[in-house]
Structures are given as C-alpha cells and as structure tokens.
Chain A
Amino acid sequence: GAGVSQSPSNKVTEKGKDVELRCDPISGHTALYWYRQSLGQGLEFLIYFQGNSAPDKSGLPSDRFSAERTGGSVSTLTIQRTQQEDSAVYLCASSLMGTHQPQHFGDGTRLSIL
C-alpha cells in the first residue's frame, strides 16, 4: 500500500476487556514503532521493532501492554484488562532501516474505554 495502514480506525470497549490493534507498515520498511497520543497531548513512545532484533519495549506503560510483529511485517498491539486511562489514539509508524530514516505515521486507532 501507499502508506502505513492501521485497523480498526475506532474502537470502543468496556473496561476490563482485551483489545488488539493492528498495523501494516509501508512495504519494505523494516522498522516499526508504536506511539500513544492522549487527548491534546504529544506522542508517547511505546515500542520499537527493527528487523530480527529484540524489540525495544522501554515505553510500554504496564505489563498489560504487549506487541508482536510476525514475519517482519504486520504488528499487533494488545492491551489486556483495559482501563479508562488507556483511552487514547494509538499511532503506528514505519521507516527504512538505517540512521536518520524518517518515520511515517498511520492514521491511528482511536481507543475509547467506557
């Protein structure tokens, strides 16, 4: 595809449920990032995948959050036992490998926890 694709675009769920958010990076991009943007705030780094290297999980806010990237392409971010403070827009970005490669963002998934 032409850009980073995320699904669903919107997700409303009840507190305590698990959710899965999906990201399809730009074809050929080996680096993939997840960020979170709370209402009216900047973007907060969550996790980074680069090729076959171990992911950088340093931004995950709790052990309820996990992510995987299968086959070096599509990534899934999973939030277990959702809480109201998890409500935010979850943005995925991808880039080519190497230094100073710009990150290109998807439209995000707007997650609302009731």
Chain B
Amino acid sequence: GENVEQHPSTLSVQEGDSAVIKCTYSDSASNYFPWYKQELGKRPQLIIDIRSNVGEKKDQRIAVTLNKTAKHFSLHITETQPEDSAVYFCAAARMDSSYKLIFGSGTRLLVRP
C-alpha cells in the first residue's frame, strides 16, 4: 500500500544552523506534497507545499525540494530559531483521485538557543 517514510525521527540543531528533514514515498502517482508543523498539544499547521510539476519551492527561511525520479522530497529550514522547535510531518497525496494525505511518522526538531 501507500507509504511515506520520514527521517530523522529527532533532530537537534544549534540556533542559526540549518535543519533538513527527508521523506520518501512509495506511490509514484502522488503529485502533492505538503509539510505540516505541529507544536505540542496544537493542531498541525501547513507551512509549505509543493506540486509534482516543480522541483523546488521557497518561502523565506523554508524550502522544499522534490525529486520525482527518486520519489523523495525534503524540507530545509535555514537560520533556525527556537520557535521552529516542533514536530514536522511530511505527507503525500494523489490530488487527482483520492486526495487523502499519507503522512510520515514525524520529526521532532529541537533548536537549542
């Protein structure tokens, strides 16, 4: 069945450093890849998404890259700040049929001041 693998499960970085989270998906028909940030006890918040017809998208300190051939995509956070500390989830979906998001297992990011 459809599966999304996410690594690492935990990531600790010094404030100001970059953080990279990687995901691999199994369904080659997936064409939409959002990233969600979830703070403790809060709802998941969409931070960036990418469609399969582009290879990279950037929004201020956050960027996402997509390699369709390898079926993997990554989240890059530059100049990390303590408020970036949260759990980050990647997801994949077929937005022309089922629309359901298949989530990775999450990465707990800790930014040390």
**Cβ contact within 8 Å between B103 and A103:** no
Total residue contacts A-B, CB cutoff 8 A: 60
Instruction: Tell me how many residues of A have a C-beta within 8 Å of chain B.
Output: 26
Q: Which residues of B contact A4 (CB under 8 A)?
A: 43
**Of A43, A58, A100, A108, which is within 8 A of B32 by CB?**
A100
**Cβ contact within 8 Å between A31 and B99:** yes
Known A-B contacts A48-B100, A100-B51, A104-B46; A41 and B105 likewise in contact (beta carbons under 8 Å): yes
**Of A33, A45, A107, which is within 8 A of B42 by CB?**
A107
Once the chains are docked, how many angstroms separate the CA of A47 from the CA of B98? 10
Distance in Å: Cβ of A29 to nearest Cβ of chain B: 12
Which residues 34-60 in A have Cβ within 8 Å of B in the complex? 35, 41-45, 48, 50, 56, 58-59
Once the chains are docked, how many angstroms separate the CA of A31 from the CA of B98? 11
**Cβ contact within 8 Å between A100 and B101:** no
Once the chains are docked, how many angstroms separate the CA of A95 from the CA of B95? 12
**Of A33, A44, A48, A102, which is within 8 A of B34 by CB?**
A102
The interface bits of chain B over 17-56 (1 if a CB of A lies within 8 angstroms of the residue's CB, else 0) are 0000000000000001010100000111110010100000
**Of A31, A42, A48, which is within 8 A of B103 by CB?**
A42
**Of B89, B91, B95, which is within 8 A of A100 by CB?**
B95
A62 within 8 A of B: no
B102 within 8 A of A: yes
Q: Which residues of A contact B83 (CB under 8 A)?
A: none
Distance in Å: Cβ of B47 to nearest Cβ of chain A: 10
Closest to B9 in A: A40
- A43-B101, A91-B43, A101-B95 given; 10 more Cβ-contact pairs under 8 Å: A31-B99, A41-B105, A42-B6, A42-B103, A43-B91, A43-B103, A50-B99, A56-B99, A95-B99, A100-B95
Interface residues of B (CB under 8 A from A): 6, 32, 34, 36, 42-46, 49, 51, 89, 91, 95-96, 98-106
Interface residues of A (CB under 8 A from B): 4, 31, 33, 35, 41-45, 48, 50, 56, 58-59, 91, 95, 99-108
